């Protein structure tokens, strides 16, 4: 899957478990930011965000959403990593910013290979012996992709995710590697991938969380039934993040562009937030297109890196038309 914001974590036993009740009370307060004033969602934040907030306060908005925050490069001192993350979270929340956590929705890895806080993947040691794997992550042979058609394996993964989420209280959970459609090279059955998303969503909601799922798909090439399965799995009030949301082949085809627009309208009209990460397209080009069909009430956001100044000092939907063609 193209979007693997390599998160990770080294903690484990030193994390203080949070009761499910406290998780519910914290997450019940979550409200999606108004995209008219907070149209940026910060993706893949690490401990360096603190220095950027202090040195460039004008780059960040009151109430902005930090999709996920991890602490890296602390493999020998997990207690210090936890203290650092707690301090950064307090800094961000003092500015009205909401901070989420990261987890892979389909991969596991040996605990020795997990280097960040909170854990970005369920440790393989938590999985049952002989769990079903569909293969290994490219370039990482020890990192296994679970077989989402195997119910026993899915349940074990979800038990591990629940364990991690109870150790790290948050009102928002970013689930990376959630699904990979055949249009982007995915091999596993789409219905089974959507079932896995649905089960993780129900798990998160049982803990009072909202969830954002990263899905690798070319929206214009997803069938109507496939889009329906995905929307139902994600659920109203949750969100989806997509890289390359208006791919080059789609941009060259008016018919495919209309299909992509219909896909986004379907999700937005069903109360699903959409976060677009401009990876292979300029920000201006993407905003220019989205501005032709976006409604002011849409929960539509632009994924952004904390270490990059917003273009021209603007937020996504300020004078959108001026960005076209940049």
- Locate the domains of the chain by residue range: 20-315
Give residues with Cβ within 8 angstroms of 181, minimum separation 6: 190, 193, 215, 216, 217, 218, 221, 222, 226
* Alpha carbon separation from 187 to 53, 145, 225, 279 (Å, rounded): 41, 11, 18, 23
Check: CATH 3.20.20 for 20-315?
yes
Taking the CA atoms of 72, 61, 235 and 214 in sequence, report the sign of the dihedral they define.
negative
pLDDT in tens, 36-62: 888 999 999 999 999 999 999 999 988
Q: Are 201 and 238 in contact (CB under 8 A)?
A: yes
* Residue 318 banded pLDDT, cuts 50, 70, 90: low
> Is pLDDT of 325 > 70?
no
pLDDT in tens, 242-280: 998 999 999 999 999 999 999 999 999 999 999 999 988
Calculate mean pLDDT across residues 156-165. Answer: 97
pLDDT in tens, 100-113: 999 999 999 999 99
> Is pLDDT of 128 > 90?
yes
Selection from 239, 236, 238, 218 nearest residue 227 by Cα: 218
């Amino acid at each position: 899957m193209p979007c693997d914001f390599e998160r990770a974590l080294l903690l484990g036993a030193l994390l203080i478990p949070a009761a499910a009740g406290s998780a519910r009370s914290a997450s019940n307060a979550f409200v999606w930011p108004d995209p008219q004033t907070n149209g940026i969602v910060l993706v893949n934040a690490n401990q360096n965000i603190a220095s950027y907030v202090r040195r460039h306060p004008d780059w960040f908005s009151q109430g902005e959403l930090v999709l996920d925050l991890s602490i890296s490069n602390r493999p020998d001192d997990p207690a210090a990593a936890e203290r650092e993350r707690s301090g950064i979270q307090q800094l961000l929340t003092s500015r009205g910013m909401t901070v989420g956590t990261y987890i892979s929705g389909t991969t596991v890895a040996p605990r020795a290979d997990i280097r960040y806080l909170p854990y970005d993947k369920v440790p393989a040691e938590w999985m049952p012996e002989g769990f079903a794997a569909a293969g290994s992550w490219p370039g990482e042979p020890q990192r296994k992709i679970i077989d989402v058609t195997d119910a026993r394996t899915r349940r074990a993964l979800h038990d591990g995710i629940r364990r991690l989420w109870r150790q790290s209280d948050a009102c928002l959970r970013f689930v990376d590697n959630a699904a990979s459609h055949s249009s982007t090279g995915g091999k596993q059955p789409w219905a089974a991938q959507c079932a896995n998303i649905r089960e993780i969503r129900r798990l998160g909601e049982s803990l009072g969380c909202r969830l954002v799922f990263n899905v690798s798909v070319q929206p214009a090439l997803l069938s109507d039934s496939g889009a329906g399965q995905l929307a139902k799995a994600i659920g109203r009030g949750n969100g989806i993040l997509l890289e390359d949301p208006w791919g080059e082949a789609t941009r060259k085809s008016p018919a495919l562009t209309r299909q992509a627009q219909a896909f986004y309208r379907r999700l937005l009209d069903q109360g699903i937030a959409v976060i677009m990460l401009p990876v292979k397209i300029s920000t201006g080009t993407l905003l220019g297109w989205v501005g032709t069909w976006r409604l002011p009430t849409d929960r539509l956001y632009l994924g952004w890196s904390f270490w990059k100044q917003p273009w021209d000092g603007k937020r996504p939907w300020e004078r959108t038309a001026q960005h076209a063609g940049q």
